[in-house]
Homo-oligomer: A and B are copies of this chain.
Amino acid sequence: MSDRVLLKHGAGGRAMRALVEEVFVRDALDGLPAGAVGLAAMDDGAAIPLGDGRWLVVTTDSHVISPIFFPGGDIGRLAISGTVNDLAMMGATKVLALTCAVILEEGFSRAELERVQASIRATCREAAAPIVTGDTKVMGRGEIDGIVLNTTGVAITDRVVRDSGLRPGDRIVVTGTLGDHGLAVLSARHSLGLEGDLRSDVAPIGSLIAHLLARHGDDVTAMKDPTRGGLASALAEMAQKGGVGVVLDQLALPVTDEVRAAAELLGIDPLVVANEGKAVMGVRPEVADAVVAWLREHPLGRSAAIVGTATSERPGSLILDTGFGRRLVSELEGEPLPRIC
C-alpha cells in the first residue's frame, strides 16, 4: 500500500476502489434507515427510503477535466450530465435539485467562466434539472489548475435500480457507442489532429433512461454508467457485486470507425476509457431484443446493442469473447488517462 496518493487512485479502477474502501468507507457513520443504499454499497449514488414508498436519491461528483473545452463538450456540460446520469443510473430520472460549487484559480478568464456557465445553463435545460444552490471559492495562482466544478444531485423516485443485481442469464445491453469521450479528450489534450472526427458523447441521458424504465422497469436487473475506467471497469464491478461472470462479445461492441482508428493509433482499448452519455445494464434474456429495439427509438439510444451475457461460471470475472477465443479481462488498476472527467 502506497504511503502517497497516486494518479491511479482517482482513475475509477481497482486502485481507486481500494482507497475508497480503506479510507472513506471504513468506520463511516451509518445512521441510515434499514434498506438504504449508503456509502458502503459504492453504487452510483445513495438511496434513502422516505417511509412512504419513495426514495431520496443523492449523488455527487467533482469535475477536474483538462482541457476544459473539448470536441463535443466542456466541463460545464460534463458536470451536469455526470450528475444527472448518476441519478438516472439509480432509477431516478426526474431531478429535483442540483447544487453547483465552483472553484476558480485567481486570474481565470471571466469570458471562459461565462462560456462554461452558458453550457451549464443549456445542459440544465436539456435535462430539466434546476441548480438550486451553489458555492464559489477562489484559490491563488498555481494553487488550482483553472476551474473545478462539483455537482450534487437530489431526486425522488418510486423505484431504485442498483448496480449489483446481475443474475446468470441476463443479457448485457449498452445504450450506444463506446470510447468516444476518452478518445476525444485524449486527442484534444495532445493535439493529435483527430478532433475533426472524434467527439465526446457527453450528454444527460435521464430522458433515455425514463423512456427505458417506463416500458421495461421490471426487466432491468442492474445498471451503471461506464465513466472512468470505461465499460471494462463498470462491468467488472457489476460482475463482482452480482456474483456472476460476464462474457463480453467483442464483435458486438458498438465502436465508431473514428474511435477504432484513434484507439489503434494510440494503443488504447476503447473498453477502458470513459464514456459520458452511455449506460450499461443487465436485462432479462427473453426481453433483451425488445429492450434494444425500444432504446433505439430514443435519439440517445440509436446505437444500443446487446454486447454480452451474465453467467454462473467464473463469478466476479469479466471475459472477452474475441470471436477466436475467450480471455479474462483484468480490471484495470486505473484508467490510462488522468483528469478525464
Interface centre among A105, A109, A132 (most CB of B within 10 A): A132
Question: Does A257 reach chain B (CB closer than 8 Å)?
Answer: no
Is there contact, CB below 8 Å, between B56 and A96?
Answer: yes
Interface stretch, picked from A148-156, A279-287, A310-318, is A148-156
Task: Compute how far the CA of A93 lies from the CA of B276 in the bound complex, rounded to whole angstroms.
Answer: 36
Is there contact, CB below 8 Å, between B145 and A139?
Answer: yes
Question: Does A45 reach chain B (CB closer than 8 Å)?
Answer: yes
Interface stretch, picked from A9-17, A242-250, A288-296, is A9-17
Question: Does A198 reach chain B (CB closer than 8 Å)?
Answer: no
Question: Does A215 reach chain B (CB closer than 8 Å)?
Answer: no
By beta carbon, the residue of chain B nearest A121 is B27
Is there contact, CB below 8 Å, between A23 and B145?
Answer: no
Write the A1-28 contact mask toward B (1 if CB under 8 angstroms, else 0).
Answer: 1111111111100001001100110011
Write the A151-176 contact mask toward B (1 if CB under 8 angstroms, else 0).
Answer: 01010000000000000000000000
Task: Compute how far the CA of A3 lies from the CA of B134 in the bound complex, rounded to whole angstroms.
Answer: 22
Task: Compute how far the CA of A131 lies from the CA of B138 in the bound complex, rounded to whole angstroms.
Answer: 25
Residues on B with C-beta less than 8 A from A104 are 5, 9-10
Is there contact, CB below 8 Å, between B114 and A60?
Answer: no
Question: Does A103 reach chain B (CB closer than 8 Å)?
Answer: yes
Is there contact, CB below 8 Å, between A62 and B132?
Answer: no
Write the A49-66 contact mask toward B (1 if CB under 8 angstroms, else 0).
Answer: 000000010111110101
Residues on B with C-beta less than 8 A from A31 are 128-130
Question: Does A97 reach chain B (CB closer than 8 Å)?
Answer: yes
Q: Min CB distance, A310 to chain B, in Å? A: 25
Is there contact, CB below 8 Å, between B99 and A60?
Answer: yes
Is there contact, CB below 8 Å, between A113 and B5?
Answer: yes
Is there contact, CB below 8 Å, between B46 and A150?
Answer: no
Interface stretch, picked from A32-40, A181-189, A199-207, A233-241, is A32-40
Known: A31-B130, A130-B32, A130-B38. A99 touches B59 (CB 8 A): yes
Given contacts A23-B110, A59-B133, A139-B339, 17 further A-B contacts (CB under 8 A): A1-B110, A10-B136, A24-B117, A24-B131, A29-B125, A32-B130, A38-B133, A48-B96, A58-B97, A58-B133, A58-B154, A60-B134, A60-B135, A64-B143, A103-B148, A135-B150, A140-B338
Residue pairs across A and B with Cβ atoms less than 8 A apart, 23 shown, are: A4-B106, A5-B109, A7-B138, A8-B138, A9-B138, A10-B137, A10-B138, A24-B134, A29-B128, A29-B129, A29-B131, A39-B130, A39-B133, A45-B133, A46-B97, A48-B132, A58-B99, A58-B132, A60-B100, A62-B102, A62-B150, A135-B150, A142-B142
Q: Which 3 A-B pairs have the closest CB atoms?
A: A10-B138, A46-B132, A60-B99
